[in-house]
Amino acid sequence: MSDSKKKPSVLEGFKAFLMRGNVIDLAVAVVIGAAFTNIVNTLVKGVINPVVGALGTKDLESYSSCLKGPCAVAEDGTEIGIRIMWGSVLGATLSFVITAAVVYFLMVLPMARYLARRAEAQKAREGVKETLEVTELEVLKEIRDTLVAQRGPGQSVPSGSSPQG
């Protein structure tokens, strides 16, 4: 017996996976993110570090503290003492804050505003639709009331048409 259902090949499944919109969106986000990282790093090195340099050294990487003993470099090139490189942590933190601010103010906030306006427009459209439905219902009630008034009091069923036939 031959099976009438053909199993998709691994290659076909992989192709279907790649053609999903989510995978393409994710790939674009990664590429844009890598390019954006370069911009942020350049901003930190070209703008933030010189501003910090006005207060001290121009390179945040050079800020450090010695945890144990005098921090020095021996003649053979080994470090003496335990150096805490808090300047590099500060630089990475500033990069993160700048990246988060740019993403929020240039991407998240405008998108949230756009979606809010779109939701308001959708609600307005639904409100108009509900108003039309209510208006139609009111018109039908008025027609019914007019017909009942024309038949006279106590006649809810038109004469000559009884439910029994």
pLDDT at 57: 63
Residue 139: inside a domain: no
pLDDT at 113: 94
pLDDT at 156: 56
pTM over 0.85: no
Q: Tell me how far apart the alpha carbons of residues 49 and 47 are, in angstroms, rounded to a whole number.
A: 6
DSSP 35-73: HHHHHHHHHIIIIIHHHHHHHS-S-GGG--EEEEEEEEE
CA distances from 74 to 25, 69, 119, 131 (A): 52, 13, 66, 84
CATH number, domain containing residue 58: 1.10.1200.120
- Domain range for 93 is 11-123
How many domains in the chain? 1
Both tokens of residue 24?
């393409």
Nearest to 88 by CA among 59, 118, 57, 117: 59
Instruction: Please answer whether residues 39 and 31 qualify as being in contact, where contact means their C-beta atoms are separated by less than 8 angstroms.
Output: no
Residue 68: inside a domain: yes
- pLDDT tens digit at each of 165 positions of the chain: 455 567 778 888 888 877 776 777 788 888 888 888 888 778 777 887 777 777 766 667 778 888 877 788 778 878 787 888 888 888 788 778 877 887 788 778 998 999 999 999 888 888 776 666 667 778 888 899 999 888 876 655 554 444 444
Find the Cα–Cα–Cα–Cα dihedral 81, 86, 91, 95, rounded to 10°. Answer: 130
Residue 156: inside a domain: no
Residue 36: inside a domain: yes
Both tokens of residue 133?
């439905």
Q: Tell me how far apart the alpha carbons of residues 125 and 137 are, in angstroms, rounded to a whole number.
A: 18
